[in-house]
Chains A and B, each alone.
Chain A
Amino acid sequence: MKTDDLINALAADAKSVEPPIARTFAVALAIGAVVSLIAFMVTLGPRPDFPQLLTNSVRYTFKLIVMLSIAIPAFFIVRGLSRPDFDPGRSLWWLAFGPALLLLGIGMELAVVPSGDWHQRMIGHNSFYCMTIIPILSVAPFLAMLYALKSGAPSHPVIAGAIGGVLSAGIGATLYASHCPDDSPLFVAVWYPVGFAVMAVLGALAGSRFLRW
C-alpha cells in the first residue's frame, strides 16, 4: 500500500477521535478512587472520631497530608507521561516532597518523644494490616491508571507504570491512614513504604508488559 493510500483511509476515519487523554485520565482515576473509597467505607472506614482528629491530632492530620502530598504530584506526573512528548525532567522532584515532609515529621517526633518510646511507636499495632491493606485499597486506582495509560501513548511505559503504582498506593494509603490507629511518623515511615514499593514494582511490570503501543 502506498502512503498516500493509507492517508486516504486515515482521513476517512477523521471523526473517530477519542476524548482528550487528560480527561480520560482524570475520569478513570476518579472512578478508581471512588471504588476504593466505597470499599473502604463498607469494610474499615475512618476512625470513629475522624472529624475531631482532624482538628485535634497533629500526627493524624500530618500523615494524611503526607499521603496526599505523594498522591497529588504523582497524579500530574503520570497524567503527563500518558503523552508521548512529555518530558518529566525536573517535575520528578515533586515526588520527593511527601517523603521530605515525612522526614521533617520524624525529626520533630524524635525531638518531642522520649527515646525509650521510639521503638514502640515505630512498631505500632497494625503493621501487618498496613502492609496488606494499602495494596488492596490500591487495586481499583491501579487498574484505572493502567486503563488510562493504555489509551494514551507513554514514551516511558515502565516509569509511567511505576509512578502510576505510587499514585494508586497514595490513594490507598490516604484511605488506610484515616483508619489506622498508629499516627506516629515513625510508624508511617517504616511500614507505609512497603505498600508503595509493592505497587510501584507491579506498575513497572505492568508497564513493560501492557503499555507498549
Chain B
Amino acid sequence: MDRKARDAEWSELMRTAIAGDEAAYRKLLAELSRLLRGVVRRGFAGVGVARDDVEDVVQDVLLAVHLKRHTWDPAMPLGPWVLAIARNKMIDDLRRRGRRPEVALDLSQFDIEGEDQQASIDAHDVDRVLNGLSDRNRDIVRSISIDGHSARDVADRLGMTEVAVRVALHRSLKTLADTYQEKAG
C-alpha cells in the first residue's frame, strides 16, 4: 500500500477512534506501533546511537499519541502528525541520555516499513513507572492491559462502577506519560 492510501486509512481509523470506537483504535495503534518501531530504530541509527530499548521509546510515543490525539487536525493526514510526535519523543530521549538534542532527525526521508519482531518483548520503563501508581490503579492498569480484561469485568471484580474504572485508567495513563516526561527534565 502506498503512503497516501495508508495515510487515508489511518486518518479514517483515527476519526472513528475519536468517535469512541475501541476496535478501530486498537487496530490503528497496532499498525502505528509497527511503524514506530522502524522509525525509532532508524532514527537513532541515523544519529549514531545504538539502542537496545527501542520499545521504551515506542511506548512513550504511543502514550503521547493517545493523550494528545485531540491535537490532530482531521483535515490533515495522520502520518506526519504521528511522526512529529515521534520526533519530539526521540529528542527527549536523547536529551535524557545527555546527547545533543539538536541532531537532525529527518523522519520525512524515511521510506518507512513496519517492524514486528519486538511486539512481544517487554519494555521496562513503563513497568518501573507502573510501580509509582497506587495499588488499586496499578491493579486496574495491569488487569486491562496485561490480562486483557474489560473495564466492565475489572469494575465488577473491584466493586467499582465502570465509569470509575475508566477514570482511574485515564488518570493512570496520564501519570505514566508525566513520569516519562520527568525523567527527561
Contact = CB atoms under 8 A, between A and B. Distances in A.
Interface residues of A, number: 33
A10 interface: yes
Interface in B48-89: 55, 58-59, 62-64, 66, 68-73, 76, 80-81, 83-85, 87-88
Interface string A1-15: 111111111111111
Contacts of B184: 212
Given A4-B30, A155-B84, A13 B69 contact: no
B170 A4 contact: no
A128 B59 CA distance: 53
A12 B126 CA distance: 17
Contacts of A21: 70-71
Contact of B62 (A7, A17, A20): A7
A7 B26 contact: yes
Interface string B2-24: 00000000000000011011110
A83 B74 CA distance: 12
B150 A20 contact: no
Given A12-B151, A14-B20, A19 B70 contact: yes
A151 B64 CA distance: 12
Contacts of B88: 84, 153, 155, 213
Contacts of B120: 2, 4
A85 B7 CA distance: 15
B25 A82 contact: no
A20 B68 CA distance: 10
19 contacts: A2-B122, A3-B55, A3-B58, A5-B146, A5-B148, A6-B59, A7-B29, A8-B148, A10-B29, A12-B151, A15-B166, A17-B18, A17-B70, A84-B71, A84-B81, A85-B83, A151-B70, A155-B87, A213-B181
Interface of A: 1-22, 24, 82-85, 151-153, 155, 212-213
Interface of B: 17-18, 20-23, 25-26, 29-30, 33, 55, 58-59, 62-64, 66, 68-73, 76, 80-81, 83-85, 87-88, 92, 118-123, 126-127, 130, 141, 144-146, 148, 150-151, 166, 169-170, 173, 177, 181, 184-185
